[in-house]
Amino acid sequence: MDQACYGRPNGTLLTPTQFIQKATPQYKAKGIFPYCKACQEIVHVYGVHSPNPNTTPRFDHADRDPDADELDDCVLANRSARQKGMEPSCWDDERAEGLRAHFYEEENLRVAYGFCRALCRKGNLPAEKFRSMVKRADKKRIWAYADIPLWAIPYVLLTLENFVGKKKDGNTFDFHFVFEKPPRTNASALWERSLECQLVKVFPGAGKLVAADDNPFPVSADALEAKAGDVSWITSDFLQLLIV
């Protein structure tokens, strides 16, 4: 990670070299730490005074617990295959709260749930699973991704959970969603280059595609609306169960 917040979550973003220049190499003794912009946890300075000229200074996250779910890992830690390339181009903290509130407006929430349910299939998206997706979005600060449109939020939510489906014979199978998008792009490709992106439902492990007419699925506002379809069946009482 090439930038971190100085001294506090959401502090001024500095490079590792700038951080050491300002906080001095005694920053730990002074109680001045760098914080990750995404997860807002303390990160560690690496390589600023390395004698190796090929070392690039960076900020590193603390080691992840081996039993931790990779979906809970910070996207900027860059060590989760499921989240690779999903970091934002930059952040817009002022817009985040308003976007989240807009998402929870009744009609928008109906469309979001209707879309996610349609892709997961009936019976595979209980309210608690949807809430879990939103909680991860909160933790990852998806709402603060600069320029992310409202329609892209449900797409991202689907990549933040694991699901269980049911076969015609009654047996179950695990699946999840990932994005296919241009290499070396970040999350902004979803709305800036959406024609080159797809949402893919896959089995765990090797990532084999789940056989379905709508898999892979296009990434666009129109595709979301079409897949959600008529959402008038989703009652206001049920919407209350989706709110985090």
Model pLDDT for residues 164-210, shown as the tens digit of each residue: 998 888 889 999 999 999 999 999 999 999 999 999 999 998 789 99
Q: What's residue 215's pLDDT?
A: 96
Q: What's residue 16's pLDDT?
A: 97
Query: How do the domains of the chain map onto residue ranges?
Result: 4-62, 93-242
**Local structure of 142: helix, strand or coil:** helix
Q: What's residue 56's pLDDT?
A: 93
Tokens 């709508």: give the residue.
214
Using CA atoms, how far apart are residues 6 and 37, in angstroms rounded to an integer?
A: 10
Q: What's residue 80's pLDDT?
A: 83
Using CA atoms, how far apart are residues 225 and 111, in angstroms rounded to an integer?
A: 7
Number of Cβ within a 10 Å radius of residue 159: 18
Q: What's residue 161's pLDDT?
A: 97
Which H helix or E strand runs over 127? helix 127-139
Residue 25 exposed, middle or buried by CB count within 10 Å (0-12, 13-18, 19+): exposed
For the chain, list residues with pLDDT below 70. none
What is the pTM (predicted TM-score) of this model?
A: 0.92
Q: What's residue 136's pLDDT?
A: 96
Cβ-contact 201, 227 below 8 angstroms:
no
